[in-house]
Amino acid sequence: MEKAIEVGGTPGGNSLPRFVKLYVCAAIILVIAELIGSFTFNIGPGKVVLLPMIWALLIGAILGLSKNLLPAPMRIDTVMQFDAAKILQPALLLFVAKLGLLVGTSLPQIAESGWALVFQEFGHFVGTILIGLPLALLLGIKREAIGATFSVGREPSLAIIGEKYGMDSPEGRGVLAEYLTGTVFGALFIAVLAGFIASLNIFHPVALAMGSGVGSGSMMAAASGAIAAQQTPEMAKQVMTFAAASNLITTTIGTYFTLFISLPLAVWGYRVLEPILGRTTTASVTQKESAVEHVVDHGGVLGPVGICFAWVLSGGLTLIGDWIAHGSNPLAALPGMLIVLLAVMVGVLANKFIGKKIPAVCWVSLIAMLLTAPICPWATQIAELTGKISFLAFITPMLTFAGLSIAKDIPAFRRLGWRIVVVSFAANAGTFLGATVIAQFFHH
């Protein structure tokens, strides 16, 4: 049986050198990933874009997997991999705050989008469960099915599952596995699917465009490009416009749908369907593996000092990445980052003192949204300051820590194997088709 590991919480005492080493490794990985830059290639009518965030994820994962082959100074051992998983949650909250700031500035645009754009959101999140969850259970996947099918598993989903269950939980492994599958194969899959569905002429192109806004920029671009390629120039322009508006809603307001509708629905669906459809296969957790998971300490959390360090240093990594990728001035962007950190801090304090029935993810998003909403007298100035930091710059540090934490879960990923890829494709198909059907109904 695996020896128990100490993953205790606040960077201090004997753990301080470990956390310093982890942040230094993360900084090096981030710089390398940003220097590699983006890589784009065409697949039929669509295209696949590999962004620096993907390189950061892969480099971190390779470093963790190679721990037994590397010299001690470069080794990311299992304890450090658990530390990276704990740092991931504070880093995710910075991204959520940036998302909320974008929501506030876009509220008038969202209000003008019409009922079709509003209600198609139900399809994006319910469709993943209706198709993905039964399939996952039939394939023998257990509680990982909840994380893998309650949404398409983009960044806000990682934040929600990370806070509620922890990234080392079965649900955390499920959402991370779905995220990895979607990141690597999602754009290609959705482009082929959307192009094929469009060629059948069953749905209006605008409805298909709304279905394309699954919450991922690369997947939205791939799907809408495949649809637009089969339309007239004027209709192609409408397709791209509505796809962008739908994606905006999914990546902003969609966070609340995920939190309050699709996740509870997935948990309820698992409880009802697992006794009926569940199977025991190599994808199921055996008694021995469950015992190992309980022996290993997954419960360690960062203390207040550790959380503050994680916020500040993750913010610093974000500014460095944005400087390398987009040439932004870190000093000019610093006030905007301080506003982001303030929104995160106020949201977490609200979560702590008002009550934890509403997750910190939601509080942070609401506080940030209010800062740039039209009702805020300083909304324009705040939007200008925070707008100096690229949206994508917040994702790369987050995925760096996700990559550094992956190796500890490889046995679980290996157990899920090809099944999680099939489930991920089913969830992606469900979100596209579910939203398209609802948008078709309201569009007409």
Q: Which domain holds residue 312?
A: 30-41+52-112+299-406
What is the residue whose two structure tokens read 């944005």? 322
Angle ∠(390,393,396) on CA atoms, nearest 5: 160
What is the residue whose two structure tokens read 């099918």? 149
Residues 30-80 pLDDT 10s = 999 999 988 776 666 555 567 788 788 889 888 888 888 888 777 888 888
Q: Are residues 143 and 69 both part of a single domain? A: no
Q: Is residue 294 part of a domain?
A: no
Q: Is residue 142 part of a domain?
A: yes
pLDDT score for 183: 65
CB contact at 8 A, 30 and 400: yes
pLDDT score for 369: 86
Distances from the Cα of 348 to the Cαs of 19, 35, 95, 122, 367, in angstroms?
Answer: 22, 33, 14, 28, 10
Q: Is residue 6 part of a domain?
A: no
Q: Is residue 431 part of a domain?
A: yes
- What span, in angstroms and rounded, lies between the C-alpha atoms of 143 and 260? 19
Q: Are residues 307 and 318 both part of a single domain? A: yes
pLDDT score for 269: 93
Q: Is residue 170 part of a domain?
A: yes
Q: Which residues pair with 47 in a beta bridge?
A: 42
Q: Are residues 84 and 224 both part of a single domain? A: no
Residues 240-280 pLDDT 10s = 878 877 877 776 677 778 888 888 999 999 999 999 987 77
Q: Are residues 277 and 303 both part of a single domain? A: no
Q: Is residue 4 part of a domain?
A: no
Q: What φ, ψ does residue 430 adopt, rounded to 5°?
A: -65, -40
pLDDT score for 402: 82
Q: Is residue 321 part of a domain?
A: yes
pLDDT score for 84: 87
For residue 128, give the nearest of 326, 261, 297 by alpha carbon. Answer: 261
CA dihedral angle for residue 129, residue 135, residue 141, residue 146, rounded to 10 degrees: 0
Q: What is the DSSP letter of 112?
A: T
Count up the domains in the chain and report the number.
2
Q: Is residue 401 part of a domain?
A: yes
Residue 146 burial (10 A CB sphere; 0-12, 13-18, 19+): buried
CB contact at 8 A, 395 and 53: yes
Q: Is the pTM of this model over 0.85?
A: no
Q: Are residues 99 and 120 both part of a single domain? A: no
Q: Are residues 260 and 130 both part of a single domain? A: yes
Q: Are residues 65 and 193 both part of a single domain? A: no
Neighbour count for residue 352 (Cβ, 10 Å) = 11
- What span, in angstroms and rounded, lies between the C-alpha atoms of 264 and 155? 18
CB contact at 8 A, 366 and 347: yes
pLDDT score for 255: 73
- Three-class secondary structure of residue 283 per DSSP: coil
**Structure tokens given for 364:** 């942070």
Q: What is the DSSP letter of 48?
A: E
Distances from the Cα of 351 to the Cαs of 90, 98, 258, 346, in angstroms?
Answer: 14, 18, 18, 9
Q: What φ, ψ does residue 202 adopt, rounded to 5°?
A: -85, -40
Q: Are residues 273 and 132 both part of a single domain? A: yes
Pairing of strands 46-50, 39-43: antiparallel
Consecutive sets of 10 residues in the chain, 444 residues long: mean pLDDT of each?
Answer: 40 66 92 88 62 84 84 81 84 84 76 70 80 90 89 77 82 83 73 87 90 78 83 84 77 76 91 86 52 42 82 93 90 94 92 74 85 91 91 84 80 74 88 90 73
CB contact burial 89-112 (16+ within 10 A = b; e otherwise): bbbbbbbbbbbbbbbbbbbeeeee
Q: Are residues 218 and 315 both part of a single domain? A: no
Q: Are residues 239 and 143 both part of a single domain? A: yes
Q: Are residues 211 and 267 both part of a single domain? A: yes
- What span, in angstroms and rounded, lies between the C-alpha atoms of 306 and 214? 34
For residue 431, give the nearest of 184, 140, 215, 145 by alpha carbon. Answer: 215
Q: Are residues 172 and 69 both part of a single domain? A: no
